[in-house]
């Protein structure tokens, strides 16, 4: 096959792909067909316009066009039988009833949008794709995974994530950035499901092996698990073990995040001890100094101690921009 013939073949194949069999058949008909049970679309709609609406619906929900397979999501029929024998007017499928409601909602939204002044894109309209983005379930990924977890635990959650990622990665259907699984893992840890949280975070590390932020979530969950089980000293011991196994964990960010999370859970006295330990381990790093000084203000309600902490840092590190700004903010509180 020559390059020209190949280009012609691809062009023809592409045209056939976007035209459903019903539409291709209809353009040969001379008479306007009569449709029944139209509730949203106008009764006199042309076959061409109806085909365009249905094609837009198929694209919005990511349903296949070929051989009308996607049509069976809403319509009653048998893929083994000619589509001309299908009961297109039937309302037996709840998906069709829902689709009508969605179409009316979309029309209402677009009607309201048309009445807005100073729109950036006046011709822009909402479609099925706006919310569905090529999937039948419009829920965002965290909600889908939460439902999977409720129904089947962490195994169901991880299976659902892998299945969806395998099918939709690279599309705009779901958010597969690392933060989604990190937030889910942290939420499971907050609920006391530490082993499940670690399983989710481990899967996240599998897909983002170079992300220290993802690894940091795993470390944080491990510290919180040890704290919940055996107390603060056990968490400190876990941190020491982690540092011994991987020097990359020897940074102030780890205990700093742990301390503030303890504070948000009302373990304020324990949080202060974490900030003290972090400052002891990393006295020349800004983060431990800032957090300990801020802890004086936010946890102990000691404004003067907080101001003194930043002044002490600036004496050793004059001109430090972040400390200068924070000190100015605290002094404004005093006034």
Give per-residue pLDDT as tens, 134-169: 999 999 999 999 999 999 999 999 999 999 999 999
- For 76, phi then psi, to 5°, come to -90, 125
Q: What angle do the packed helices 178-190 and 141-168 form, to 10 degrees?
A: 140
Cβ neighbours of 78 (radius 10 Å)? 11
Please state, for a pLDDT cut of 90, what percent of the chain lies above it.
71
Distance of CA 268 to the CA centre of its chain: 31
State the chain's maximal CA–CA distance in angstroms: 90
- The answer to whether the beta carbons of residues 292 and 255 sit under 8 Å apart is no
Q: Name the band, by pLDDT with cuts 50, 70 and 90, for residue 14.
A: very low
What pTM, to 2 d.p., does this model score?
0.79
Q: Name the band, by pLDDT with cuts 50, 70 and 90, for residue 67.
A: low
- The answer to whether the beta carbons of residues 122 and 161 sit under 8 Å apart is no
Cα distance from N-terminal residue to C-terminal residue, the chain: 83
- For 90, phi then psi, to 5°, come to -65, 145
Tell me what pLDDT residue 101 has.
Answer: 92
Residues 270-297 have a mean pLDDT of: 96
- State both tokens at 231: 């107390």
Residues 191-217 have a mean pLDDT of: 96
Tell me what pLDDT residue 253 has.
Answer: 95
Q: Name the band, by pLDDT with cuts 50, 70 and 90, for residue 187.
A: very high
Q: Name the band, by pLDDT with cuts 50, 70 and 90, for residue 15.
A: very low
**Is residue 29's pLDDT more than 70?**
no
Please state, for a pLDDT cut of 70, what percent of the chain lies above it.
90
Residues 224-235 have a mean pLDDT of: 98
Tell me what pLDDT residue 334 has.
Answer: 84
Question: What is the distance between the alpha carbons of residues 187 and 199, in angstroms, rounded to a whole number?
Answer: 13
Least confident of 118-127, 229-238, 283-292: 118-127
**Is residue 295's pLDDT more than 60?**
yes
């Amino acid at each position: 096959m020559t390059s020209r013939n190949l280009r012609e073949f691809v062009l023809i194949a592409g045209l056939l792909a976007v035209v459903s069999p019903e539409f291709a058949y209809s353009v040969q008909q001379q008479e306007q067909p009569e449709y029944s049970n139209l509730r949203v679309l106008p009764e006199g709609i042309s076959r061409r316009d109806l085909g365009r609406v249905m094609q837009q619906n198929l694209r919005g929900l990511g349903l296949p066009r070929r051989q009308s397979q996607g049509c069976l999501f809403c319509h009653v029929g048998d893929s083994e039988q000619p589509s001309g024998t299908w009961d297109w007017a039937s309302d037996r499928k709840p998906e069709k009833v829902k689709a009508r409601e969605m179409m009316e909602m979309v029309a209402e939204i677009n009607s309201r949008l048309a009445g807005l002044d100073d729109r950036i894109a006046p011709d822009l309209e909402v479609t099925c794709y706006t919310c569905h983005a090529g999937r039948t379930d419009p829920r965002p990924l965290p909600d889908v995974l939460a439902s999977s977890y409720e129904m089947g635990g962490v195994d169901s959650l991880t299976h659902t994530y892998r299945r969806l990622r395998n099918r939709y990665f690279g599309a705009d259907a779901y958010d597969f950035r690392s933060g989604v699984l990190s937030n889910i893992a942290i939420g499971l840890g907050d609920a006391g499901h530490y082993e499940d949280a670690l399983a989710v975070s481990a899967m996240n590390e599998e897909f983002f092996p170079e992300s220290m932020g993802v690894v940091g979530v795993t470390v944080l969950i491990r510290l919180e698990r040890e704290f919940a089980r055996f107390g603060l000293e056990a968490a400190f011991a876990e941190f020491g073990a982690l540092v011994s196994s991987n020097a990359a964990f020897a940074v102030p960010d780890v205990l700093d995040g742990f301390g503030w999370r303890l504070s948000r859970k009302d373990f304020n006295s324990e949080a202060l001890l974490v900030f003290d330990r972090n400052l002891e381990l990393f006295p020349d790093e800004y983060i431990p100094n800032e957090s300990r000084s801020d802890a004086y203000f936010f946890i102990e309600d000691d404004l003067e101690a907080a101001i003194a902490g930043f002044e002490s840092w600036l004496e050793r590190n004059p001109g430090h921009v972040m400390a200068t700004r924070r000190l100015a903010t605290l002094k404004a509180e005093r006034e």
